[in-house]
Each structure stands twice: as C-alpha cells, then as structure tokens.
Amino acid sequence: MNYIQNIFKSNSSKNNPFIAELEPLLGFKPKTIHFYERALTHRSACEKDEFGNPFNYERLELVGDAVLGVVIAKHLYMAVPEASEGYLTQMRAKIVSREYLNQIGKDFGLIEFMKTHLDYSKFSENTHGNLLEALIGAIFLDKGYRVCEKFIDKSIITPHVDIQRLEGKITSYKSLIVEWCQKKKKTLRFVNENDTGIEKTKHIAVHLKIDNTIVAKARATSRKKAEEKASRRAFFALQNQIER
C-alpha cells in the first residue's frame, strides 16, 4: 500500500513508476499526469488538490462515460450502416453496460493501480468499470478526443466488441419481460413481500405477477436488483413462450 501511495508523489513520467507502469496500457506518454492520478484515486484516500478541493475518480468517471458513449455510437453507426436508431441504441447500451465495462476494467487490472486506504477485497465489481470510465476521462482531458477515440478503438472495441455475439446478449431481463407482456397484452406487477432473510444487510423481497399469477420471486439489497433478479427467473420459466 505504501508503494502505491508513494508513486503518486512524482510529477514527471520519467521518474514516476506509476506512469511507467501505466504507459504500456495506454500506448502513449501522458502529458498531464494529475489527470491519471485522480482517475485512479478512491475517495477513501482523502486526497486534496493544491486548492484544498477533495478529489477522486468519480468526476472523471462522468467525463469518461460521456466520451465512451460517443465513440461507441460512432463505431456502431459506421459498422452497421443498415441499422435503425433503435438497434444502435440497444447495442450501445449493451456495450457500455456495467457488467461489460466491469469485465474490461478487470482485464486491464486497473484496481491494482488504485490509491486507497481500504483493502481491495472491500470493493464491488463495479469499481473495475468505474475506474475504466475514469481512465477514459483522464485520456480525453489530457490528450483530446482523437487520442481518446484511438485508445477506445484499440483497447476496447477491437478486442472486446463482437457485434454478432452482442446481438443475442440480454442486458435487462426486466425490460425483456415488460416488452413481452406489453406485446401479449398481459398485466405485469412487482409486489413487495415480507423479507424473511437472516442477513445483517437489509434486503428487499418481491414477487413478479403476470395476469395475477405469481411467476417468480426474488430478494436483493435493493428493489431494482430484486426486480431484475425476479425478471431473470421469470424469463427462464417462460422461455419457451417468449419470442426473442
């Protein structure tokens, strides 16, 4: 942990081991190092800039998310010229989904660069995707759109984006079930039920009803997660009826 913290103190790429290790991943020499330091700093590090403003990767994550969406949209527009707006929107959502970005961020090993006062085991899977978006934001602010687009194309699109495979990938079972019910003119409701779990963390329990019949039940740490989980179970229960 001390090594990770100490490498942030050097201000030049020439004698900064943090940047030296990051350069092979980036494929270029960073110009403004502090963007990358911030992109890989967790709020637990309690870092502040020269003006006393706290910083971490979250602000750059917002920038990276926007830039990534633009680059992916452009790629899809050029790669699938016959596709409709709806298709392009759906495909972009699949590529920039949290699950997809988490896996890419994990492949990059970005969490190993992160400055934090917490043990890495404390972080969720989403941290990998958050760091990836923050890194993209840092590249954009440091090098501009063209270099950032080149990085995304080389490091994300080329090795990780397979349009044909993604066409069959389901990113939201809830959306799928809702659309199917609307198409078949069926009523769908998610109903809260008493949670009987023994975990210390509070859970939300729901059951999914289609035409007043309970099709699936689920529980999770949030209503959103519980509904998605129940929808997934409903999908597999009704898979033979649902036209994908």
Question: Residue 42 sits in a domain of what CATH number?
Answer: 1.10.1520.10
133 is catalytic: yes
Catalytic residue of the set 58, 61, 125, 133: 133
pLDDT of residue 214 exceeding 90, the answer is: yes
> What is the Cα–Cα distance from 28 to 63, expressed in whole angstroms?
20
pLDDT of residue 244: 52
Residues 122 and 54 in one domain: yes
**Does residue 13 contact residue 23 with C-beta atoms inside 8 Å?**
yes
pLDDT over 90, % of the chain = 58
Contact 161, 100 (CB under 8 A): no
- 150 and 193 co-located in one domain: no
Q: Which of 136, 167, 198 is the last residue of a domain?
A: 167
pLDDT higher than 70, residue 9: no
Domain end, chosen from 119, 146, 167, is at 167
Q: Is the pLDDT of residue 6 over 50?
A: no
**Average pLDDT score over residue span 62-84:** 95
Across 5-20, average pLDDT: 57
243 assigned to some structural domain: no
Mean pLDDT for 5-32 is: 72
Higher-pLDDT residue of 15 and 153 is 153
pLDDT in tens, 48-65: 988 999 999 999 999 999
Given 23, 49, 50, 65, the catalytic residue: 65
Show the domain range for 224.
173-237
d(C-alpha 233, C-alpha 228), whole Å: 9
Residue 116 is predicted with a pLDDT of 92
65 assigned to active site: yes
Instruction: Report the domain count for the chain.
Output: 2
In percent, the amount of the chain with pLDDT more than 70 equals 91
Could you say which of 130, 151, 167 is where a domain stops?
167
Same structural domain, 27 and 86:
yes
pTM, whole model, 2 decimals?
A: 0.69
Q: Are residues 163 and 185 in the same domain?
A: no
Q: Is the pLDDT of residue 3 over 50?
A: no
Arithmetic mean of pLDDT, 99-110: 93
Mean pLDDT of the chain: 87
Q: Does residue 244 lie in a domain region?
A: no
Give the model's pLDDT for residue 128. Answer: 96
Is residue 14 assigned to a domain? Answer: yes
Residues 142-200 pLDDT 10s: 999 999 999 999 999 999 998 888 877 777 888 888 888 998 999 999 998 877 666 66
Q: What is the mean pLDDT of residues 105-134?
A: 92
Residues 83 and 7 reside in one and the same domain: yes
Q: Does residue 240 surpass a pLDDT of 90?
A: no
Check whether residue 215 and residue 125 sit in a common domain: no
Same domain, 27 and 137: yes
Task: Say if residue 96 is in the same domain as residue 192.
Answer: no
Tell me the CATH number at 232.
3.30.160.20
Residue 212 lies inside a defined structural domain of this protein = yes
Which residues are bridge partners to 193 per DSSP? 205
Q: What is the pLDDT of residue 243?
A: 57
- Non-local CB neighbours of 65 within 8 Å, separated by 6+ positions: 96, 133, 137
pLDDT at position 104 over 90: yes
